[in-house]
Structure 1
Amino acid sequence: MARKRIQETADILQDAIRRLAPSRRDVDTEGLRRYLGLPEHDGFVDDGRVAAALTEMRGLKEWAAKGAGELAKAAPSLRWSEGENGTVAWSVRVCLPLLDDGRMELRLMLPPTPQMLEILHGMAVGNDPRHRLDEFKAEVNRVERETGKSMHRVVNRLREDVRADLAEDGSDAATYAEHMDHALRSRQYGFSPDLVRTLPGKFKELRARAKKLARHDAGIRNLRERVGFGTYIDKFRAARGMARHIVFHMGPTNSGKTHAAMERLAAAGKGAYLAPLRLLALENYEALRDRGLNAGMVTGEEVFGNKGATHVSRTIETADLQHTVDVAVIDEIQMISDPDRGWAWTNALFGIPAKTLILAGSDDALPYVRRAAEAANESLEVVAFERKTPLVLLDKPVPLEEVKAGDAVVAFSRQAVHEQREVLVGLGHTVATIYGALSPEVRRAEAERFRTGEADVLVTTDAIGMGLNLGPLQRVVFSALRKYDGKEDRPLTNPEIRQIAGRAGRFGHHDVGYVAATTEEGIDPIRKALAGAPAAPAADSRFYARPDLVAISAAASELRTESLHEVLTHFAQAAFYEGSPFQPSDMDAMLQAAEMVDRTRLNLAQRFALSMAPIDQRDELSFQVLKGWTEMLASGSGVPALRGNPLAELDHQERTVRLAGAYLWLSRRFPDAFDDADRMRQVRARANEAIERHLQETATKRLTKRMTVAHRG
C-alpha cells in the first residue's frame, strides 16, 4: 500500500514538471518529493511550490559543482562536502598552533553559526559565492577568535607539556616535534563542551607515542653510527689509511688470470691469497710453499705453517683486515654478489690493507669493482685476460650412452650424481665423483683418480667450477641446466654455465675444449651463455654485508636487549639506511641458530660465535648435534669428539665429515670446551677414507661383475 501511495505522489509531481518545465529531463522525482517534504500519501501539490523548488534545486546543484569550491578558496577556514540533491555540508576549522613556528596545530571542527547558515543559504540559492561575502568572513573570524579564547587555558597547558617534552628529549627533540606535528595534522577534533575536559587525556597518548617513536628513531640513528654501516667503508681503518691500488684480472675460466696474480704475489715481500674454498686455499698454500716461500694457511678450522709466515693462504671469511701486506689476491671476486657469502668478499674488497690489491674473476664483477674503487677513492686498473684454448659447443646432444673417456658429466644434486654414475658404470666406465657434500680431501682424491686415468669419466656437480686440477678433461656434458640454490629450483645463470663449461680443454693438455648437453633442449641456453650473454640484471645490486661482534654488541646495547635473535632480526632495519650501497646478507641460518642459543645462559659473544658455526641447518640431525654441543658448552663441561663408524652408510660418513669440520671450527673459538680436536681430526680422516673407499669400490664393482659374467659366457 505504501509503495502505491509513493507512486501516486511521484505521478502527481511528474505531471507538475511537464506543465512547469517541459524541457527538463533530469529531475529526480523522489529527490524533489523529499526536498518539498511531501508525505507519501499527498494527493495534491501546489505548482508554485514545485516551480520554486525546481529553481532552488538547480541552483543548489550548480552551487555544489562550482560555487561552494570558490567560497572555500575565499575563506580557507571553511570545509565542505557535497550531499544529496546539491546540498552542501559546511564546517569551520579552527587551527591553534602549539609552537611559535606554527607547527603542531590543534585542529578543531565547528558547525556554522545561524548567521553563517543564513548567508550560505542565500549564496546557494543564487549560486553566488560573493553574496554578503565580507559579512560572512567577519563572522568566521569572530568564531575563530571566540574559540581561541574559550580554549586558551587548555591550549596553554598543552603547550607547556610539549615544551617540557622538547626539553627532556634533548637531541631527539626535532624528531619528537616531527612525529607530533604529523599526528596532529592527521586528526581533527569536533568542538564540544566536553572537549576541554577530554583533550588533555587524548593529547597525553599522542605525546607518549611521539616520544616512543622519537627514541626509536634516535636509537636507529645511534645504532647505525655505532655499528659502522652508515659509513661502512670508513670502519676499515687500516685500508683507508693507505693509498691502495686495485688491479682487476678480468677473464673467463682457463685464461691464466689467477696464475698471473699468484706470480705477482710470490714476487712480493709479504702477501696474502684469499680463496672461496678450503681446497683452493690448500692448493695455493702448497704452491707458495713449493716455491720456497715462508708460507702459511689459515681457514676457519685450522692454521698451517710458521707463525711469522710472509705469504699466507686463507679462506675468504678469515681475511686479516689489520696487518698490512704488499700484495693481496682475492680470487673469484664475482662471488661478491652471492646473498649468503658475498659479505666476505665485500669485507675483503674494502678492508684488506694491501698496497696492491689484485682481484681475479669474471667480467660479471666489473660493476661491483668499479663502484668499490670509486666509493673508496682508490685507483683501479683493469687487465683483460682471454681464454687460452677455444671452447666449442657441440650442436648435437651427447646422451649418457655416448659419453667417452675424458668427459665430465655435470648434474646438480647429490642424488642425480649417484644415479648417473651408476648408469655410466653399467656402461663400462670407471667413474670419479665430485659433489658439494664431499670434503676437500675426498674431492681432491677423486680429481686425482680422474687426472691419472684411474677413472676415465667424471660425474660432478658445479663443485668442479673452482679449485680442482682436472688436467685431461676435454669435454663437459651438461645433464641438466637447473639447480636448487637452497631456496628455489632455478635455471643456471649464464655466468654459472660459463664457469662450469670453462673447465673443459685445460691449457697445456688440449688445444680445444668442448661443451655439450645430453638433450636437444639444453643446447640453446648453453649457446647463449657461451656467446657472452650477460647475467640477468640483479634485482638489488648493493654490496652484501654482515655484522661482526662489535656491531652485534653495539646493537644489543642500543636496543637494550640480550637476545641475539632480536638483534639480528632488527639489524637490517637499523644498520642499513635508505639509499645505502650496502644490504644485509642472508642471515636465515644465523637466525635459526640464534633462536636456539638464546635459550642458554651463554654470553652474547659466545652465542654469536655459535650462530655462525658452519652447520647445515637444513639437516635436522646436524642441527640437533649443534644444540647438544651448545648445551654442553653452557653447562661448563667439555665437548667430546664424535664417534666415527667406518661401517656406516655414505650419507652418515658425509655428515660426520661436515660435523667434524664444524667441531674444529668451534675448537678455534672455544678451545677449553671443544678440547678433543686431535681425535676429531682422526674421526674425520677415517670418515673420509670410508667415503673414498665407497666411491672407488662402487666405481668399479659393476664393471667387474659385468666382465665376470661376459667371461663365463
Structure 2
Amino acid sequence: MARRRVRPTTEILSEIVAQLGLPPRSVDLEALQGRLGLPEFNGEADEARVARALRAMKAERAFAETGIEALKRTVPALRAAVSGGGAVTWSVRATIPLLDDDRLAVRVDAPPDAETAGILRGMAHRNDPRWRLDDLRAAVAQVAGQAADELRRPVERLREQVRLDLREVGADASAYLAQLDRSLRSRPFPLTDELARSLFQTLTPVRKRARVVAHQDSRLRRLRDRVGFGAYIEKFAAARRLGRRIVFHMGPTNSGKTYAALKVLTEAATGTYLAPLRLLALENYEALLERGLRAGMVTGEEVLGEAGPTHTARTIETADLMRPVEVAVIDEIQMLADPDRGWAWTNALFGVPAKTVIVCGSDDALAYVRRAAEAAGESLEVVPFERKTPLVLAEQPVPLEHVEPGDAVVAFSRRAVHENREILVAAGHRVATIYGALSPEVRRAEAARFRTGEADVLVTTDAIGMGLNLGPLKRVVFSAVRKYDGTGERALTNSEIRQIAGRAGRFGHQEVGYVAACEEDGVAPLRTALSGAPTAPAADTRFFVRPDLQAITSVAEEMQTDSLREVLAHFARATFYDGSPFQPSALEEILEVARLVDRARLPIREKFVFSVCPVDRRDDVAMAVLERWTQARAAGAGVPALRANLHGELDYQERTVKLASAYLWLSRRFPETFDDVEAIRAMRGQANAAIEAHLRETATRRVERRSRRVAAKAPR
C-alpha cells in the first residue's frame, strides 16, 4: 500500500485560498488553520468551509479594529482579549465592594452568557458596536449581577476578615487599605466553581501582606528620607560636582533652536546629544560624523561608531550619567510631562554631567526647567527662538478629496491612518505612511519616499511631531482634533497642535507653512492654538520618575524579599506621598509586568531588567513571549531567534519587529542568553522589508489600476 504523502496543513490551505481567488500571502494561514481546528499536517477542508472561516476572520478583524474601543467606552464592564489571528475573547468584569464606602472591591471576570455572546457575535458580524447596544448593556449587567450573587457568601466572609484586620492595624488602617486596594485592583479573578469555594483562602496571603505593610511606617519614613527630592538630586554626584549651567533654547517647531544647540555641541571638545527617538539619534550621529568628529551612537539595542568617542548621540533612556562632558543637548524637553517616558527627561535634566546643559523645547516646559535649576542650585538662561517661516491657517475645511500633493494628513490612531490612506489612494494619490507602530527604519524609509517625491501625500499620526525630515511638506491637514490618550478621548492641547502643525513650511524648502482641518469643527481649535494661546497648566506638575536599579536593590535588601512587585509597591508608597515633588512614570504597567516576571526564579536585579524591557505591555502575545524569555533565563537556557512568518499580515510584521527589537535590547544585558543576535537582525530586516513592500505596493496599486482604466477608455 502506498504511503500517504505528508503535507503541512498551511500548504493545503494556501492552495484552497488561491482557488478562492485570494493571494495566499494576504491570509494568515496559521490563524486560519487554528480557526478551522485542523492538525499541523494533512488537514482537510473544502472551499466553502474555508471561505466561511475567512469571512468570519475578516469580520472579527474589522470589529477588533473599530468596535472594541467603542465598546470599552460605552460598556466599561466588558473586557476583550484579541488573539494574533484577530479572534476576540470576551469577559464581563463584576466589581463586588468589600467596604460600605466602596474603597475596596473584588474584581471578577465572568464568561458572557448565551445572550451576551450572541449580541457580540452580531456586532462583530455587522461591524457595528451600536447594534442592540441597550440589550447588550442589560445582558452584561445581568451577568455581573449573577457573578456577585454566586460569590455572596465567600465575599461576606472576606468582609468580616477585613474588618478584623482593620481593628488589628489600628492607626495604620489607611496604609492597610491602600496596600490591599492596590493588590485587588491588579488581581482580577476568573469566575470558576473553585473560586466561589476558595476566594477566602486565595486572598489570605494578600491580607497578610497588607497587614505587614501597614506596620512598616518607621521603615517607610527612613526610605522616604533616602528618596526625597534633595536625596534624588544629590545622587547624581557627577553632575553636582560640575556646577552646571543650564540654557533653555525655548521656541516652536522650525525655529532653529535645536540647530543652534547642535552647533554649540559640535564646537565643544566633548559632548552628547540626547534624543527622544532612535531616528533623531541616528540622524545626528551621522551629522557628527560628517563634521569629522570622533562620534558614536548608543540606543537601548545597539552601539555604533568607534570606541571612546568624543561626541555621542543617544536615545535619552541611555543617557550616560557618570562620564562628564563639556556640552549636553537634551531635545524635546517638554517630554518631561509625558507619563510613560517623562522619567528619562527628569533623570537627564537633573543628572547629565555636563558643564553646559542645553535643553530644547516649547515654552510649556519652562516652569519645570526653572524649578529643576532652582532645586539643584544651578544657573538658568532662557534663549527665546521665533519660528522662521509663518504658519497660515485655512479658514475653510479641506476634505480628504481636496488634499493636494505636498500635504500631510494627520490622524490619531493606526486605524484612522489606514482609513485616510485608502481614501487618498483611491483618489489617485501615491501615499507614504507613518505611525507609531512602524519601526524607525520603516518610518525613515516612508519619510524618504515623501521627501523625494516618490509619494506625493503623507498620511501620519502625531509621530511626525518630533524630528523626521519631511522636506517638501507644505501643508498639515488635521483629520481630527481629538485623540485617545490611553485613558480616554480628549481634545488636543494647544501645544500638541502647534508641535504637529509646525512641521509644515520647513525653512529652506517653503516660504510659508499652511495648516487646515478636514472638518468644520476643527478650524476653531486650530485657530486658537496658532494664535499663541497658551496650553492650560498641567493639573499635576510633579516630575515623573522611575526607580533605578540601585533603589530596587536597596529596598529589596531592607524588605528581605526577592519579589519585584512588592519592592516596586513599597517604593511607590515611599516616594509618591502627598506633597512629594515626584509622580510615578507608568508605574501600574511596570507593576503588572513585575507580577509576570516574579514567576521566574531570577535575582531581583534581573527581574527589574525584564520589567523595563521595551515590549508592548498592552499586547498579550508580546507579554507571553516576555514570560517565556524570563523562564528561559531562569533555566539557564539560550533563547533562539523568533520564528517569523514573512507572509503574515501587516500587524503581525509590526509585532515581529517590536519583539525583535526587544530581543536585541535584552541581548545587550544578557548576551549569553539572547545569543542569536545575527539571526534576529536578519529576521527584523526581513520583516521591515515586508512592511515597506506592503506600504509601497498598497500605496500605488490603486493608482496604477486607475491609470490603466483611464488609458483603456482613452480614444485610440
TM-score (norm 1): 0.70
- 1:706 offset after TM fit, Å? 1.1
1:485 partner letter: D
Match of 1:611? Answer: 611
Alignment of 1:499-538 (within 5 A): 499-538=499-538
CA-to-partner distance for each residue in 1:628-663, whole Å, 9 max, x for gaps? 111111111000111222211111110000001100
1:424 partner letter:
L
Alignment partner of 1:464 is 2:471: no
CA spacing shift, 1:179–1:695, aligned 2, 3 Å: closer
Matched, 1:475 2:478: no
Q: Partner of 2:151 in structure 1?
A: none
> What is the number of equivalent residue pairs in this alignment?
506
Is the contact between residue 432 and residue 699 of structure 1 (CA under 8 Å) also seen in structure 2?
Answer: yes
Q: CA deviation at 1:225?
A: 3.5
Identical amino acids, percent of aligned pairs: 68
Quote the offset at 1:383 in angstroms: 0.3
Q: Which residue of 2 aligns with 1:414?
A: 414
Query: Are the equivalent residues in 2 in contact too, given 1:249–1:358 (CA < 8 A)?
Result: yes
Q: Which residue of 2 aligns with 1:114?
A: none
- The aligned counterpart of 2:572 is 572
Q: Could you list the per-position Cα deviations for residues 317-337 of structure 1 after superposition, in whole angstroms to 9, with x for gaps in the alignment? A: 011000100000000000001
In 2, Cα distance between the equivalents of 1:427 and 1:614? 38
* Corresponding position of 2:560: 560
Match of 2:591 in 1: 591
Q: What are the equivalent positions in structure 2 for 1:84-163 lying under 5 Å apart?
A: none
Q: Distance in 2 between matches of 1:530 and 1:693?
A: 37
Where in structure 2 are the equivalents of 1:147-226 lying within 5 Å? Answer: 216-226=216-226
1:380-391 matches, cutoff 5 A: 380-391=380-391
The 2-side partners of 1:213 and 1:611 are apart by 23
Alignment of 1:309-708 (within 5 A): 309-708=309-708
1:261-280 pair list within 5 angstroms? 261-280=261-280
CA contact (8 A) 1:227 1:552 kept: no
Distance in 2 (alpha carbons) for counterparts of 1:544 and 1:355 = 24
Q: Please tell me whether the aligned partners of residues 220 and 575 of structure 1 are also in contact (alpha carbons under 8 angstroms).
A: no
Q: Output aligned runs, 1:238-317, within 5 Å.
A: 238-317=238-317
Which amino acid in the other structure matches residue 538 of structure 1?
A
Would you say the 8 A contact 2:247–2:356 is kept in 1? yes
Which amino acid counterpart does residue 638 of structure 1 have in structure 2? G
Rounded Cα–Cα distance in structure 1 between residues aligned with 2:229 and 2:568: 14
What's the CA shift string for 1:406-432, capped at 9, x where partnerless? 000001111111111111011010000
Q: Note the alpha carbon deviations across 1:104-159, whole angstroms, 9 max, x for none.
A: xxxxxxxxxxxxxxxxxxxxxxxxxxxxxxxxxxxxxxxxxxxxxxxxxxxxxxxx
Q: How does 1:31-42 map to 2 (within 5 A)?
A: none
Q: CA deviation at 1:486?
A: 2.2
Q: In structure 2, give the amino acid aligned to 1:504.
A: A
Q: Residues 175-194 of structure 1, C-alpha deviation per residue, up to 9 Å, x if partnerless?
A: xxx979xxxxxxxxxxxxxx
Q: Contact between 2:610 and 2:630, CA under 8 Å: does it hold in 1?
A: yes
Cα distance in 1 for residues equivalent to 2:312 and 2:634: 34
* Deviation of the 1:678 alpha carbon: 1.4
> SS of the residue aligned with 1:231?
helix
For 1:278, give the aligned amino acid.
R
Report the residue type matching 1:536 in the other structure.
A
Task: Give CA deviations for 1:661-697 in whole Å, capped at 9, x if unaligned.
Answer: 1000111111110011111111111100000011110
Q: What is the distance in 1 between the residues matched to 2:533 and 2:321?
A: 36
Shift of 1:403: 0.3
Aligned counterparts, 1:69-84, within 5 A: none
**Aligned pair in 2 of structure 1 residues 323, 567: CA closer, same or farther (>3 Å)?**
same
Q: Measured at CA, do residues 230 and 566 of structure 1 come closer, stay the same or move farther in structure 2, by a change above 3 Å?
A: farther
Q: Distance in 2 between matches of 1:378 and 1:577?
A: 26
The offset of 1:578, in angstroms, is 3.8
Q: Deviations over 1:488-527 (max 9, x none)?
A: 2221111111000000000001110000000110000011
2:273/2:328 contact within 8 Å kept: yes
Contact residue 250 and residue 257 of structure 2 kept, 8 A: yes
Q: Distance in 1 between matches of 2:610 and 2:229?
A: 23
Superposed CA offset, 1:51-85 (max 9, x none): xxxxxxxxxxxxxxxxxxxxxxxxxxxxxxxxxxx
Letter in 2 for 1:493: T
Which whole-Å CA distance do the structure 2 matches of 1:551 and 1:338 have between them? 22
RMSD over aligned Cα atoms: 1.6
| Structure 1 segments of 4+ aligned residues over 3 angstroms from their partners | 211-215, 225-230
Specify the SS of the correspondent of 1:521. Answer: helix
What is the TM-score with the length of structure 2 in the denominator?
Answer: 0.69
How far apart are the structure 2 equivalents of 1:662 and 1:477?
34
Q: Which shifted more, 487-496 or 568-577?
A: 568-577
Q: Which amino acid aligns with 1:691?
A: I
1:108 counterpart residue number: none
Runs of 5+ in structure 1 lacking a partner? 1-177, 181-210
Letter paired with 1:251:
G
Residues 213/435 of structure 1: CA separation in 2 closer, same or farther (3 Å cut)? closer
- The structural deviation recorded for 1:561 is 2.3
CA drift at 1:558: 2.4
Distance 1:623 1:666 in 2: 14
Letter of the 1:519 counterpart:
E
Q: Deviation digits for residues 568-624 of structure 1, max 9, x if unmatched?
A: 122221124542322222212211111011111111011110000111111111111
Q: SS of the counterpart of 2:327?
A: strand
User: Could you tell me which amino acid in structure 2 is paired with residue 710 of structure 1?
Assistant: V
AA in 2 matched with 1:318: T
Displacement after TM superposition at 1:376 (Å): 0.5
Opposite residue 450 of structure 1, the aligned amino acid is F
Query: Are the counterparts in 2 of residues 433 and 458 from structure 1 also a CA contact under 8 Å?
Result: yes
**Larger gyration radius, structure 1 or structure 2:** 1
CA drift of 1:214 comes to 9.7
Comparing 623-632 with 317-326, greater Cα deviation is found at 623-632
Partner Cα separation in structure 2 for residue 530 and residue 479 of structure 1: 17
- Contact 1:564/1:604 (<8 A) preserved: yes
Q: Which residue of 2 aligns with 1:104?
A: none
8 Å Cα contact 1:229-1:575 kept in structure 2: no
Amino acid at match of 1:248: F
Alignment partners' CA distance in 2, 1:597 and 1:467: 35
1:222–1:427: structure 2 CA closer, same or farther, 3 Å change rule?
same
Shift of 1:358: 0.2
Q: Is the 8 A contact 1:223 1:558 kept in 2?
A: no
Question: Hey, what's the Cα distance between the residues in 2 that align with 1:461 and 1:645?
Answer: 27
> Structure 1: how far apart are the matches of 2:240 and 2:425?
56
Partner of 1:233: 233
